[in-house]
A = this chain, B = another copy of it.
Amino acid sequence: MREIAILGIGQTPVDEHWEKSLRELAGEAIFAALDDAQRTSADGLFVGNMLSGMLSKQENLGSLIAEWVGLPGIEAFKVESACSSGAAALRSGFMAVSSGEMDSAIVVGVEKMTDTLPSETTEGLATAADADYEAAQGLSFVAINALVMQRYLHFYGWKHTDFAQFSINAHANAMHNPFARLREPITEADYSRARMIADPINLLDASPTGDGAAALLLVPVEMLNPGSKPIIKIAGSSSATDTTSVHGRKDPLWLSAAEKSAKKAYQQAGIGHQDIDLFELHDAFSIMSALSLEACGFAERGQGPRLAQEGAILPTGRIPITTRGGLKARGHPVGATGIYQAVEVVQQLRGQAGPSQVENAKIGMTQNIGGSGANIITHIIKAV
């Protein structure tokens, strides 16, 4: 297997792009990534997307986008694992290039969620859960996460307001990210009085949806120009699953697929969690930040919120998270999110993160979650 580098990155703002189609959004991100890499083509295209069939009446995104960006003929697929579709596409592109099947791959995550009625988008997102045993019982996706958070508060004895700093940090970091959807700071008071969505998840616990696309160009390290520095390398790439339904798990408060994929990624990279300089985690809801930090070894079981309270998650802290706004404030165009995370880690490793730059960042981790912990994909990205 060959080592893989991320040579180019591109993204669109996360927003309500009513004036742009799926292919236009994807194209914008891909052209940016190709420009960034000073390339004009690639051998393959892997598209991360969850909802295009349901919300845009468009499947077969591989050929659609390949043609749109002027590369008709190349191998191209869509990869789907609900909200971790982006990272699933990255993982697929990684395997395709590392196997030697191709010498370069574009990986793009794209999602369009705001052209439809909110009820249609909500119905689409519910397909991430178990249709027969969760969604058909009336559980929306946020309702499932609300049950998890309710249980967490009860079991470990935290108060809802103990989660405030997760959202405050995300919004503070997004202020410096021109691609973020929500670029205004919030306060503890804002958090406490935010409108309830599904008790105990309120509006400021939940990430906004949005339209957006992000792209990467992957190439083998061995094919880079010898002089090019820094090399941004994928040092770990791993994925694991858990039961789709939360009620199917022995412990609904433990993300076993996060633990499993992170451990394998640490092993591949030859590091421990203490070597990670920043962690772009999947804060679709604030409770998921706590659970992810615990499953990946950064906090003891049940102690995730303490890292937020102590400031360890700030760009200046011990384990900075959501440094460009995270899902909470950059926004969560579901199938694109995993690629946004990787783009943001590369920005940090290149020293391009502006006021939320993590000083001397050398190793970043991304973790993308599909469903309520059902399909979790971890990447470790390293500047060498």
Contact = CB atoms under 8 A, between A and B. Distances in A.
Interface of A: 1, 21, 50-54, 56-64, 66-67, 72-82, 88, 91-92, 95-96, 98-101, 123-124, 126-132, 135, 238-244, 248, 256-257, 260, 370-371, 374-375
A313 B81 CA distance: 40
A376 to B, nearest CB: 9
Contacts of A66: 241
B60 A124 contact: no
A167 to B, nearest CB: 26
Contact of A80 (B67, B80, B257): B80
A56, A95, A124, A240 — most chain B CB neighbours (10 Å):
A95
Contacts of A81: 60, 62-63, 76-78
Contacts of A1: 99-101
Copies in the complex: 2
Q: Which of A50, A58, A124 has the most CB of B within 10 A?
A: A58
A244 B63 contact: yes
B75 A239 contact: yes
Most chain B Cβ neighbours within 10 Å, of A62, A81, A123, A129: A62
A59 B50 contact: yes
B374 A243 contact: no
Given A53-B54, A374-B60, A75 B241 contact: yes
Contacts of A130: 58, 64
